[in-house]
Structure 1
Amino acid sequence: MDEKLSIRVNIADKYYPLKIDRNEEERIRKAAKLINERVLQYKQKYTDKDVLDFLAMTALQNTTRMIELEEKQDVNTLAESIKELTEELEDYIKEE
């Protein structure tokens, strides 16, 4: 059984203690780094806003991107299924 790893992750200048699987550490640290980079971009562009606004915009941007990737994956899966069915139909027609 994998033991949990205790780490502290900095997001928008606040530290969060997490217990994670060891194999997730790199991914979580990379995600935190990307969030901080986006928050910094918003801070530099909109100096009159609050950190919570930057985090909300970062969450919206990341979620929109995730949905876009899921939709692409669905289209790719559908295209692959159509290709397989087409090949099966062509093979069937050739047999007759």
Structure 2
Amino acid sequence: MLNQLPTDEDIGSVTGDGAYDARKGHDAIADRGAEAIIPPRKNAKPWKPTTAGVGARNEILRAVKYLVLRSGDDGANITVEVVSRQRCIV
């Protein structure tokens, strides 16, 4: 998807659904200097911070885990809320 845009064009953020929650996608977005606003998959685990695209994703996972523990919710609604708030910040 990013290959369709010229490399000299600035990109602020890229959004997508959980299907785009893959290391290659996060890395490609980070390589273009953009923020990835993609909800983690339901069974997502934190990634080792070996590449630039991992930071925001792991932060979302930490926030979701914290909020799920506090609310007793199953996590689906909270994941959507956390990602929506991240969009507002970017």
Between Structure 1 and Structure 2, the one with more strand by share is: 1
TM, length-normalised to structure 2: 0.43
**Bigger Rg, structure 1 or 2:** 1
Pick 1 or 2: higher relative contact order, CA cutoff 8 A, min separation 6: 2
Between Structure 1 and Structure 2, the one with more helix by share is: 1
